[in-house]
A and B are shown apart, each in its own frame.
Chain A
Amino acid sequence: KAGVTQTPRYLIKTRGQQVTLSCSPISGHRSVSWYQQTPGQGLQFLFEYFSETQRNKGNFPGRFSGRQFSNSRSEMNVSTLELGDSALYLCASSLVKSSGQETQYFGPGTRLLVL
C-alpha cells in the first residue's frame, strides 16, 4: 500500500499570507490528523478529521483550520501567517478499530518557512 503523501514538501511564504497544505491518507484510512512540529514546542496535535467531521482539536488559534473530503483526503489552512508558524507540518492517517485501538502512520511532512 502507498503511504501517506503530503504536498507540497517545502513552502516559503511571507507574513500575512495564507497557505493550504494537502494530505492523502493510506487507502482505507478514514481518520486524518495534523500536527505541527517545532524545535521549541515539539510535536503538537492540531486536529483530527474522521469521515469528513472534525473530531478533536488541539490548542491552536482559529487561524488554523482544516477539512476532509469524501475520499478522506484532507487539507489544512493557515491564514494570516506569522513568523512563529514556521514549522514542519505532519499529517497522519489511521485505521480506527471499534476497540479504540488506533495506529497513526505519518507522512513525510511539509516544511513551511514564513519570512
Chain B
Amino acid sequence: LAKTTQPISMDSYEGQEVNITCSHNNIATNDYITWYQQFPSQGPRFIIQGYKTKVTNEVASLFIPADRKSSTLSLPRVSLSDTAVYYCLVGASGGSYIPTFGRGTSLIVHP
C-alpha cells in the first residue's frame, strides 16, 4: 500500500505557477499516480494521471522522475478559483487495492 506525503498547505498569488509535490516512496510497479482537486462540500475532481515522465493536459502538468518515488503537480498561472485541496492518489485497480487519500494540500491563492 503506497502511502503518500504532501505539504499540508501552500500559498500563492494569482498568475503564479504552483508546484505541489507528493512523496510515495513505496510505489509499486503497477501503480499509477492520480491527482484530484476538491472544493468544500463537493466531490473530488480528477485533474491528471500518469505513470512516468511527464503528462500534460489543458489544466495541469504532472512530472514523475525515473524512480517514481515522488510526483509534482504543476498548475500554471493560478487564479483565485484554484483555491482548493489537492490530493495525490497512488495505486492500481485489482487485487486488494484500497485507495488511500492522505490529508491533501490546501492551496490558497491570494489576489
Contacts and interface: CB of A to CB of B under 8 A. Distances in A.
Contacts of B63: none
Nearest to A108: B43
Contacts of B101: 35, 42-45
B76 interface: no
Interface in B15-69: 30, 32, 34, 36, 41-46, 49, 51
Contact of A102 (B93, B98, B104): B93
Interface in A56-115: 56, 58, 88, 90, 92, 94, 96-97, 99-109, 111
- Per DSSP, chain B at the interface is loop
Contacts of B44: 43, 90, 92, 106
Contacts of A109: 41-43
Nearest to B99: A45
Given A100-B93, A101-B92, A42 B46 contact: no
A106 B46 CA distance: 8
Q: What is the size category of the interface that chain B forms with chain A?
A: 20 to 34
Q: DSSP majority for the A interface?
A: strand
30 contacts: A33-B99, A35-B101, A42-B101, A43-B44, A43-B87, A44-B101, A45-B98, A45-B100, A56-B96, A56-B97, A88-B41, A90-B44, A92-B44, A96-B93, A99-B30, A99-B92, A100-B30, A101-B32, A101-B49, A101-B51, A103-B34, A103-B46, A103-B49, A104-B34, A104-B46, A106-B36, A107-B43, A108-B42, A108-B43, A109-B43
